[in-house]
Every structure is written in C-alpha cells, then in structure tokens.
C-alpha cells in the first residue's frame, strides 16, 4: 500500500461495491484472518500532489487486548482520522502542531469538511530537538526493552520522568519552555542550555554539604581540639541558617587535594580557616598517604591559598553512592540516514563511592543539594541505617549528579573527569570513522575532520576565550584565541554548510 501510494497506483479494492465493503467491514469487526488484513481508506484521489491525500487510512485492525475495553473491539480509528474530529467536537479553537505535520493539514481539514464539522485554527511551531539523544517513542522503547537504560524514568532518558529524577525542577522546565517561544525555525538544542536554567533555580536554595572520596587522606592537625563550629548552609542565603560541623585533630581530604599540598604552605580548610602544612607523607609511587599540619587560624589571608573541603574522621560520616551519567547517543546530531543503534554509547553510568557529612542522613528523595567543589546532586534514595539483608551493612545514600550547564568538568573528582574525557574521545573516534559524517579537508593534508569534531573544538576554544577574558589576559593573547575561534567557525561552515550556532 505504501509503494502504491508513492507511485500513485490505485488499490485493486478501490472500486469495490458498497456490499463488498460492508462485508469486509464485518470481517474486520470480527477479527477474522481476512478482516485483519483489511483497512478502511478514504476515497479521495491517488493523483493528489500531497501524498497524505492519496486515499489515507481511516480505520485499521489491532488484534490486541485493550487496557480498558479488553477484546470488545478489533477495529480502531487512525490518529489522522480521530484527531480532527476530537478537536472539533471537544471545542478546541486552536490546534498547536509542530511543522512536521504540515503536509497533513490538508487531510485534517478534508475530514472536517466531509463530516461538516467546525474547523479549529492550526498554529504551527518548530519541533524542539535535543542533541545526543533521540525523542522518538519507538526508538526510546528500544532503549528500555534492550536494557540499555533501566526504564522510562532512567536519568539518561529524555523523558519528563527521566530529567526530573536526574534533578531537573518543574520551574526550570517552565522557564526553559517559555524562553523557546513558538519559532518555526528548526531548533537543535544543547542539553547544557536546559541545565543552565535549572542551576538558576536550585543554586540560591541548595544547602551546601561536604563529601570526600571513600579512599581519602588523613590530615593530622596539631593544636586542633575536638569540638564543633557553626557553618552557614549557604554563603549567599542567610535565610537557610547554619549548622554544626564536627572538628578534631584528624581531618579527611581528597587525594587530589592532598597531592597539591606543599610543606610550609598555608591551606585554607573551607569553613575552618588556614592550616600550615608541616609534612606530606607519600608512598613509593609518590601518592600521598597522610599529611601533618598545624593550626594557623589567626592568619586570615585566603587570597592565594589552596582551598580544600574536609570532614572530621571521628564524625558519624554517611556512606554515599554517587552516580554520574553521560549521553546515550555519542553523535551530537543524527541525520535521517543514520541508524541510531550504531551510535549508542556503551559506558554512560559511573558509580563513585564517597563519605558524606553526618547531616546527609536527613536527606529525603528528591532533595537537591550542592556538595562543595563537586557540584549539585539530587537524592534518589535516602540513607537507611537498617542493614541490607544478607549483607550486614547500612543502605548507602544514593545521589545523582545534576549537570549545571557548564562545559567545565575540572571541579569533578578525577575518576569522573576521566570517565567523561574517555567518552568524548570515543565519540570523536567514531565520528572520524563514520562514513555518514560530513568531512572537511584541512590545510590540503590527508587528515579529514568532521563537522562534529570542529564543533567540539569551537566549544573548547570558546571556553578558553571566556577564561582569558575573565582573567583579564593581555589583548594579544585574547586576539590570538579569538582569531583561532573565527577560523574554526569558518571551517565548520565549509564542512556542514551552515553557520555555527551554540
């Protein structure tokens, strides 16, 4: 039938008698083998310029149990037939449809004219496409059915349930949608823009917590007695109040922070003050295993010091399991000819064990916090002090990393940085070997670079330019970086045929 429609060929049953059609209709209603092969089509014109008007299907058989009506019906109306009728009968005045339905508008109004029903007004707007994913329900079902993701609410899924579970707020979604307007231009949106809206919502109210890697480095502090200090929940929102933080002669810091400590230097322990490093003990491979420090709290010069987060080793620390996620599709933008299954990312979920401050045991599902110097997290599973059956250990607090729209990953733990960098390299490697990519030859050499790779370079150089400007670098350095950025944008246009749009 599809081939006949494309070739404008009439069906052999197009000129059946009314009696023959009614007989076949009865077969369809009864769900007989013959009836299941039939469908009801509108007799319009197989010569129509618009393919949607070449005898479209109005009813078809569905030999499945309906969740509400069971097996009572075997024949169901198609979406294209039911939609205009429902819109008109239910009083819809304006039907908002994406531009992909434009060719079906003529069919929409034909149904209403044939039934002498009121016509709603159709307003078109462009479909919002997101990079590094698919939005087709059929394709997303494949991800669920094959076990690539854990379900429709998996944090990697581009579903409302998925992004909310990952830490997106309803208010951020509303602001993002309102900002898009109703343009008819095709939009390919980067996820970072959506998460940037979310950061503006959660940052002013997210309480600050502290967590360190499970394999942390102990810092013995001379002159620091066991006790508590009071620390604000948020440095810029006094309305959140403050809380007690345990201190003592032994503190815990991350390996990456201990590795940066040098003997004789001041290190600012955030919330506590400056400590002077006396010794840094390392193993045979140069990895720090312990640090000896002494209090220097009277020195309040924090401008040029190393800043670290810490926890008291004697506090009742909460075991945390932090999950980090990456895109389910490696290629930024899929073309019509691309088979999405060839671009499915294999490693998109990273589990990182950490130790959190004692007050994390009070977090409830859906709470969004900021772990200082590590980012925003949403509680997916609260800490349960009751032991896990057959294991004999408390159920850890489960946290999901919430993206903030930033391209920078330097604040994340090293294992997480390695995770994202490796995925990025894998994506670039596949893009360079994919025949469906749009190549461009640079400098007359033999190396071909895809438009996707150039786009990634543009983002990196753009971030570099912004960093230079924020650090007030000299004009010559900034101009050189800007020149490189403009050159890359020109190469992108040559490769893709379109202007670069972030």
Residue 139's CB is within 10 A of a number of other CB atoms, namely 14
pLDDT at 459: 80
On whether residue 169 sits in a domain, the answer given is: yes
- DSSP summary character for residue 156: T
The SS3 of residue 260 is helix
pLDDT at 388: 62
pLDDT digits (tens, 9 = 90+) for 436-467: 444 333 333 333 456 666 777 788 778 777 77
On whether residue 63 sits in a domain, the answer given is: yes
pLDDT at 126: 86
Same-domain pairing of 97 and 146: no
pLDDT at 123: 94
DSSP character string of 371-393: ETTTEEEEEEE--EEEEPTTT-S
493 pLDDT higher than 50: yes
Cβ neighbours of residue 323 under 8 Å, at least 6 residues apart?
155, 349, 350, 351, 352, 380, 398, 399, 400, 401
Residue 154's CB is within 10 A of a number of other CB atoms, namely 20
Q: What is the pTM of this model?
A: 0.76
The pLDDT confidence band at residue 390, using thresholds 50, 70 and 90, is low
Same-domain pairing of 163 and 263: no
pLDDT digits (tens, 9 = 90+) for 404-432: 998 788 878 889 989 998 888 887 776 65
Q: For residue 455, give the CATH number of its domain.
A: 1.10.287
CA 387 to CA 395: how far, in whole Å? 6
On whether residue 266 sits in a domain, the answer given is: yes
Cβ neighbours of residue 261 under 8 Å, at least 6 residues apart?
267, 277, 280, 288, 291, 306
Q: Which among 48, 66, 180 is positioned nearest to 107, based on CA atoms?
A: 48
Of the given ranges (41-50, 131-140, 165-174, 471-480), which has the lowest mean pLDDT?
471-480
Same-domain pairing of 86 and 54: yes
CA 183 vs CA 14, 96, 123, 166, 500: distances in Å: 41, 12, 11, 28, 19
Same-domain pairing of 112 and 133: no
320 pLDDT higher than 80: yes
pLDDT at 447: 34
Q: Buried (b) or exposed (e) across 250-281, using 16+ Cβ within 10 A?
A: ebbbbbebbeebeeeebbbbbbbbbbbbeebe
On whether residue 242 sits in a domain, the answer given is: yes
Q: For residue 145, give the CATH number of its domain.
A: 1.10.1160.10
Same-domain pairing of 140 and 177: yes
- Average confidence score pLDDT of the chain: 89
Same-domain pairing of 478 and 446: yes
State the total domains in the chain. 4
Last residue of a domain, one of 101, 124, 147: 124
Cβ neighbours of residue 342 under 8 Å, at least 6 residues apart?
434
Cβ neighbours of residue 451 under 8 Å, at least 6 residues apart?
437, 438, 440, 492, 495, 496
Contact 369, 384 (CB under 8 A): no
Q: For residue 281, give the CATH number of its domain.
A: 2.40.240.10
Provide mean pLDDT across the span 288-304: 94
Contact 286, 255 (CB under 8 A): no
Same-domain pairing of 265 and 277: yes
pLDDT at 405: 92
Residue 54: CA count within 13 A, CB half-sphere? 17
CA 268 to CA 492: how far, in whole Å? 44
On whether residue 211 sits in a domain, the answer given is: no
Same-domain pairing of 243 and 284: yes
Cα 398 from chain centre: 19
Last residue of a domain, one of 107, 124, 141: 124
In the block, residue with structure tokens 């209403």? 112
CA 367 to CA 361: how far, in whole Å? 12
Residue 200: CA count within 13 A, CB half-sphere? 11
Residue 211's CB is within 10 A of a number of other CB atoms, namely 28
Same-domain pairing of 115 and 133: no
427: β partners: none
434 pLDDT higher than 60: no
Cβ neighbours of residue 265 under 8 Å, at least 6 residues apart?
276, 277, 305, 306
pLDDT at 19: 96
pLDDT at 438: 40
- DSSP summary character for residue 199: H
Last residue of a domain, one of 288, 308, 328: 308
The pLDDT confidence band at residue 393, using thresholds 50, 70 and 90, is confident
Same-domain pairing of 106 and 137: no
pLDDT at 259: 92
pLDDT digits (tens, 9 = 90+) for 4-29: 999 999 999 999 999 999 999 999 99
Provide mean pLDDT across the span 127-156: 94
Same-domain pairing of 75 and 163: no
227 pLDDT higher than 80: yes
User: Structure tokens of 337?
Assistant: 């000819």
pLDDT at 326: 96
| Cα dihedral 135, 462, 343, 350 sign | negative
Provide mean pLDDT across the span 220-245: 96
Contact 368, 357 (CB under 8 A): no
pLDDT digits (tens, 9 = 90+) for 245-277: 999 999 999 999 999 999 999 999 999 999 999
Contact 459, 407 (CB under 8 A): yes
318: β partners: 356
Same-domain pairing of 135 and 101: no
49 pLDDT higher than 60: yes
Provide mean pLDDT across the span 170-182: 91
pLDDT digits (tens, 9 = 90+) for 342-378: 999 989 999 999 999 999 999 999 999 999 999 999 9
- Cβ-count burial of 88 within 10 angstroms (0-12 exposed, 13-18 middle, 19+ buried)? middle
Q: For residue 106, give the CATH number of its domain.
A: 3.40.50.620
Domain that holds residue 448: 438-496
On whether residue 166 sits in a domain, the answer given is: yes
pLDDT at 411: 78
On whether residue 111 sits in a domain, the answer given is: yes
CA 460 to CA 464: how far, in whole Å? 6
Provide mean pLDDT across the span 462-486: 75
- DSSP summary character for residue 50: S
Provide mean pLDDT across the span 306-312: 96
- Cβ-count burial of 196 within 10 angstroms (0-12 exposed, 13-18 middle, 19+ buried)? middle
On whether residue 430 sits in a domain, the answer given is: no
High-pLDDT (> 70) share of the chain, %:
91
């Amino acid at each position: 039938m599809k081939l006949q429609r494309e070739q404008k060929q009439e069906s052999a049953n197009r000129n059946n008698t009314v009696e023959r059609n009614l007989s076949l209709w009865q077969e369809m209603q009864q769900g007989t083998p013959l009836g299941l092969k039939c469908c009801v089509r509108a007799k319009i014109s197989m010569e129509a310029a618009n393919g949607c008007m070449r005898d479209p299907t109005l009813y078809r058989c569905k030999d499945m149990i309906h969740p509400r009506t069971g097996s009572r019906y075997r024949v169901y109306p198609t979406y294209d037939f039911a939609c205009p009728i429902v819109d008109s009968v239910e009083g819809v005045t304006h039907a908002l449809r994406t531009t992909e339905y434009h060719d079906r508008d003529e069919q929409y109004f034909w149904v209403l004219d044939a039934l002498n029903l009121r016509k709603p007004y159709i307003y078109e707007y462009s479909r919002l496409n997101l990079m590094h994913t698919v939005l087709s329900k059929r394709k997303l079902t494949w991800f669920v059915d094959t076990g690539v993701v854990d379900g429709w609410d998996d944090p990697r899924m581009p579903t409302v349930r998925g992004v909310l579970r990952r830490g997106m707020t309803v208010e951020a979604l509303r602001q993002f949608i309102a900002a898009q307007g109703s343009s008819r231009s095709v939009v390919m949106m980067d996820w970072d823009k959506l998460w940037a809206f979310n950061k503006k919502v959660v940052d002013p109210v997210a309480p600050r917590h502290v967590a360190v890697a499970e394999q942390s480095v102990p810092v013995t502090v001379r002159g620091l007695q066991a006790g508590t200090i009071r620390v604000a929940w948020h440095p810029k929102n006094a309305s959140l109040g403050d809380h007690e933080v345990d201190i003592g002669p032994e503190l815990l810091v991350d390996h990456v922070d201990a590795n940066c400590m040098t003997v004789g230097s001041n290190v600012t322990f955030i919330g506590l003050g400056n400590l002077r490093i006396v010794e840094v003990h390392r193993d045979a491979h140069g990895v720090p295993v312990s640090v000896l420090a002494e209090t220097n709290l009277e020195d309040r010069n924090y401008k040029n010091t190393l800043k670290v987060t810490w926890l008291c080793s004697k506090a009742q620390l909460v075991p945390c399991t932090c999950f980090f996620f990456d895109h389910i599709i490696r290629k930024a933008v899929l073309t019509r000819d691309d088979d999405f299954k060839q671009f499915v990312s294999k490693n998109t979920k990273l589990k990182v064990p950490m130790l959190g401050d004692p007050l994390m045991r009070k977090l409830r599902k859906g709470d969004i916090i900021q772990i200082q110097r590590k980012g925003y997290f949403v509680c997916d599973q609260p800490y349960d002090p009751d032991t896990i059956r057959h294991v004999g250990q408390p159920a850890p607090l489960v946290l999901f990393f919430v993206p903030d729209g930033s391209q920078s990953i330097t604040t994340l733990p090293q294992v997480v940085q390695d995770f994202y960098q490796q995925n990025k390299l894998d994506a670039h490697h596949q893009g360079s070997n994919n025949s469906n990519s749009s190549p461009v030859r640079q400098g007359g050499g033999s190396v071909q670079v895809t438009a996707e790779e150039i786009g990634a370079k543009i983002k990196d150089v753009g971030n570099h330019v912004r960093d230079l400007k924020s650090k007030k670098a000299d004009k010559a350095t900034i101009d050189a970086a800007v020149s490189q950025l403009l050159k890359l944008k020109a190469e992108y246009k040559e490769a893709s045929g379109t202007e670069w749009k972030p």
